[in-house]
A = this chain, B = another copy of it.
Amino acid sequence: MKVEAYIHNVKFYETDKMNITHHSNYVRWMEEARINFMEKVGCDYRELEKVGISSPVVSVKCDFIKTTTFGDDVYIYVSVKKFNGVRFWVSYEMKCNNEIVLTAESQHCFVKDNMQIINLKKEVPDYYNRLADASKSCDTKKVDSD
């Protein structure tokens, strides 16, 4: 399955006095694009929320390659590196004017309302199966960057 790139148009309020997008915003766009990807492959994040599960970020790693600024359309390509029900590894590539501006990775776990770590395989096997399948077969990268 091919998922279209998620496009974020850079807002005026996302710039800083260097006249570029403040770097903290890319971490927010990773979240936007990841949530959009999950929805597009049939694994809406709000489905987890409805059964009391949330998904905190365990780590992020960003390499800022080029700057962007107000008005730019940033194309965000998401792919799942690994998913085992307990951890979810996602990678990102962002392009602007056909040039790579950022590569990044994030890692996530899944918790119940009391912040106890759970395994989606046990808690929500149906959702787990769908996300595991999508993790293997879905990718935005190849569609748009070719």
CB distance from A15 to the nearest CB of B (A): 4
A22, CB-defined interface residue at 8 Å: yes
Contact A18–B56 (Cβ < 8 Å):
yes
Contact A17–B12 (Cβ < 8 Å):
yes
Task: Classify chain A's interface size.
Answer: 35 or more
Residues of B within 8 A of A15 (CB): 16-17
**CB-contact partner of A23 in B32, B45, B57, under 8 A:** B57
User: Which of A17, A32, A35, A59 has its CB near the most chain B CB atoms (within 10 A)?
Assistant: A17
Residues of A bordering B, CB below 8 Å? 11-13, 15-20, 22-25, 27-28, 31-32, 35, 45-46, 54, 56-64, 67, 69-71, 115
